[in-house]
Amino acid sequence: MSTAVVVEAPGRYRLAEHTPREPGPGEVLVAVHAVGICGSDREVYQGNRPEGYVRYPLTPGHEWSGTVSQVGAGVPEGLVGRKVVGEGFRNCQVCERCHAGETTLCTDGYEETGFTRPGAMAATLTLPARLLHVLPDDADLTAAALLEPAACVAAAALKAGARPGERVAVVGTGTLGMFAVQFLRAVSPAELLVVGTGNDREALSRRFGATGFRLEDQGLPDDFDVVIETAGSASAARTAASLLRRGGRLVLTGIPGPGADGLDPTDLVVRQLEVQTVFGAPPDAWAHTVRVFGTGLLDPLPLVTHQLPLTGFPQAIELVGAGDPKVGKVLLRP
């Protein structure tokens, strides 16, 4: 019998019998290879995800990889057997924002795999074929399970628009931070600094292309062209802004807790900083991520430290929230 994780309500979950849902017109059925656990999954389980951005009961899982096993009417048969990943946002496709390619801003309301629609913590996942991104035949599906967070960082990198020879920095050394290093390295910066709260990720940062590493409480420079923040704290956002030269470009990807003190608007105006934010990944960021992954310039596998069966869901949630520097990306393997 195949199983699925079902979070009934905050703090309550069960392993349920899973029956694959036949794909309807325009849909595909994917055999899930691996699904990642991130902080938002922990929010779903604990019940502190923002209102309107989760719907119980729910099978979580928005970071996943798998193989197409069946297609519905109107979907090319050639997709069967292909390795894939998929976008999470279930956009309407007809509003002004969707037509502009800004699917994460769909005006029809928020719907996302793993939060308001059934996710990939199950043996199979049924979803619209239009959300798929096909991987090379020789792709490592375990590594590919991390392409969703990578796509979110790709969105940040595309917004930042770093150019060859610019001085760039990343604040945060988690999964998102390590992906930011890899994307920024690909544009040949003159300098690539990583700022963290501990030294545990310095070696990995340099392996991915960082030219420097500093702790947040050390004396930091203030003349960088581009900074991407990935740590998800108000202090990290302020640190990221402080690293920039006048007129520099900042992209925030982390989500601090409610009520966190923000950036100083006077400082933003006087220094003419350009500030952008990212929540999720639109199609162009996904396509960019899959291309970079296919060329070998994106290496997610060193970030994976734990792989557990679906029965290990509570352990995985604890690992993600433990704050242990030895814990990187945790995957469940249906």
pLDDT at 217: 86
Q: In sequence order, what DSSP letters do the residues of 161-189 get, joined into one string?
A: T--TT-EEEEE--SHHHHHHHHHHHTT--
Q: Is the pLDDT of residue 266 over 70?
A: yes
Residues 6+ apart with CB under 8 A from 317: 37, 41, 42, 45
Please name which of 141, 155, 136 lies closest in space to residue 89, comparing C-alpha atoms: 155
pLDDT at 1 over 80: no
Specify the long-range contacts of residues 164-167, CB closer than 8 Å, at least 24 apart: 164/188, 164/189, 165/189, 165/190, 166/190, 166/225, 166/226, 167/191, 167/193, 167/223, 167/224, 167/225, 167/226
DSSP string, 227-264: EEE-S-SHHHHHHHHHTEEEEEEEEE---PPTT-----
Q: Looking at the chain, how many residues does it have?
A: 334
Report if pTM > 0.85: yes
CA–CA distance, 47 with 75 (Å, rounded to integer): 37
Q: Kindly state the helix (H) or strand (E) to which residue 314 belongs, with its residue range.
A: helix 313-321
pLDDT at 322: 82
| pLDDT given at position 215 | 96
- Over range 36-44, report the average pLDDT: 93
Q: Kindly indicate the confidence band of residue 163, based on its pLDDT and cuts at 50, 70 and 90.
A: very high
Q: Do 122 and 17 form a contact (C-beta atoms < 8 A)?
A: no
Bridge partner list, 332: 35, 308
Mean pLDDT in residue range 18-47: 96
In angstroms, the CA 312 to CA 109 distance is 33
Mean pLDDT, range 260-274, rounded to an integer: 92
pLDDT beyond 80 at 260: no
* Averaged confidence pLDDT in the chain: 95
Beta bridge partners of 36: 63, 331
CA distance 63 to 59: 13
Label residue 258 by pLDDT band (50, 70, 90).
confident
Tokens of 177: 């931070």
pLDDT in tens, 272-322: 999 999 999 999 999 999 999 999 999 999 999 999 999 999 999 999 988
What pLDDT score was predicted for residue 147?
A: 98
Q: Measuring CA to CA, how many Å separate 46 from each of 4, 11, 109, 236?
A: 18, 5, 23, 24
Closest CA to 145 of 203, 201, 85, 185: 85
- C-alpha to C-alpha distance for 270 and 273, rounded to whole angstroms: 8
Question: What band does 245 get if pLDDT is binned at 50, 70 and 90?
Answer: very high
pLDDT for 78 equals 97
The answer to whether the beta carbons of residues 291 and 136 sit under 8 Å apart is no
Backbone angles phi, psi at 144, to 5 degrees: -65, -20
41-58 residue pLDDT tens: 999 999 988 889 999 999
CA distance 187 to 217: 28
* Residue pLDDT, tens place only, 92-135: 999 999 999 999 999 999 999 999 999 999 999 999 999 999 99
3-state SS assignment for residue 91: coil
Cβ atoms of 182 and 210 within 8 Å: the answer is no
Judge whether 85 and 101 are in contact, CB under 8 Å: no
Q: Which two tokens stand for residue 260?
A: 């966190």
Percent helix, strand, coil in the chain, to 5, is: 30, 30, 40
More confident position, 48 or 79: 79
State yes or no: pLDDT of 64 exceeds 80: yes
